[in-house]
Structure 1
Amino acid sequence: MSLIKWVDFQILGDERGSLVALETDRAVPFEIKRVYYIYRTAENVSRGFHAHRNLKQVAICVAGRCRMVIDNGYVREDTWLDCPTKGLLIESMVWREMHDFSPDCVLLVLASEHFDESDYIRNYETFLEAATQ
């Protein structure tokens, strides 16, 4: 079973341009408690390298592109985020890494929980132990 789960967003707009609305329990399958974005990532820099015990996320590349690697301890897959009308759903207990950011990349992330450092697993071996129990 693939870990790659896309959330497709409805495109609204007219001759003036396009708009995407992100609403809790409609386009986004959880209550949004935190929103952040990553931009101006330096060339050859990778981000992420962690998992969350409880938090779920939807990652959307609203400009440019980046490559996302996700891993549940059994399956490791990668995909490109390069479309502002598609979000990658990242469940809890999934390791994530972001690579190959284009210079214009803006990666928007919607999170199901407020920031909580204790929810992070930042060591891959610790993650594997917890994910494969």
Structure 2
Amino acid sequence: MNCKLIELPKIEDPRGNLSVIEGDVLPFSMKRVYYLYDVPSGAERGGHAHIAQEAFLIALSGSFDVVLHDGREEQTILLNKPNVGLLINPGTWRELKNFSSGAICLVVSPAVFEEADYIREFDLFLERYGV
């Protein structure tokens, strides 16, 4: 699978820890940042792939599963640390599941929203990327 976990710099302090995304921590420049919160129990988010756009997901609070599919195989990654994020490359289907109470998912993107970059039907995704 062509996705990877990236550990963010962590500055530890007795008053509270700090992590930062700047410089070359990510392989792209940020153009869009959004977050998911108050996700009801049992709800799922995602359910799409991007044609050209990468995404970097972080569990700022709580935890959730990211189910990835590259057209051939599926992999589930648990995000539960605010200083570790998941870089998802283009052509990867993603579903976000099993949100804990109070979970917050931060998404950093290299581009503004563009509907034409989304594949929202899994069958169409498999036609394009499946083997």
1:14 aligns with 2:13: yes
* SS of equivalent to 2:11: strand
Contact 1:3/1:77 (8 A) holds in 2:
no
Q: Percent identity?
A: 34
Aligned counterparts of 1:13 and 1:122: Cα–Cα separation in 2: 40
The Cα offsets for residues 72-103 of structure 1, whole Å up to 9 and x where unpaired, read as 10121001110001001100010000000011
Give aligned pairs, total: 131
Alignment of 1:66-105 (within 5 A): 66-105=64-103
Matching residue within 33, 50, 53 for 2:51: 53
1:65 aligns with 2:63: yes
Contact 1:33/1:112 (8 A) holds in 2:
yes
* SS of equivalent to 1:14: coil
* SS of equivalent to 2:123: helix
In structure 1, the partner of 2:27 is 29
Instruction: State the 1:5 CA deviation.
Output: 0.9
Gaps of 5+ in 2: none
Contact 2:3/2:89 (8 A) holds in 1:
no
Aligned counterparts of 1:123 and 1:82: Cα–Cα separation in 2: 28
Aligned counterparts of 2:46 and 2:75: Cα–Cα separation in 1: 15
Amino acid at match of 2:69: D
* SS of equivalent to 1:17: coil
Moved over 4 A (4+): none
Contact 1:4/1:77 (8 A) holds in 2:
no
Give the structure-1-normalised TM-score. Answer: 0.93
Amino acid at match of 1:9: L
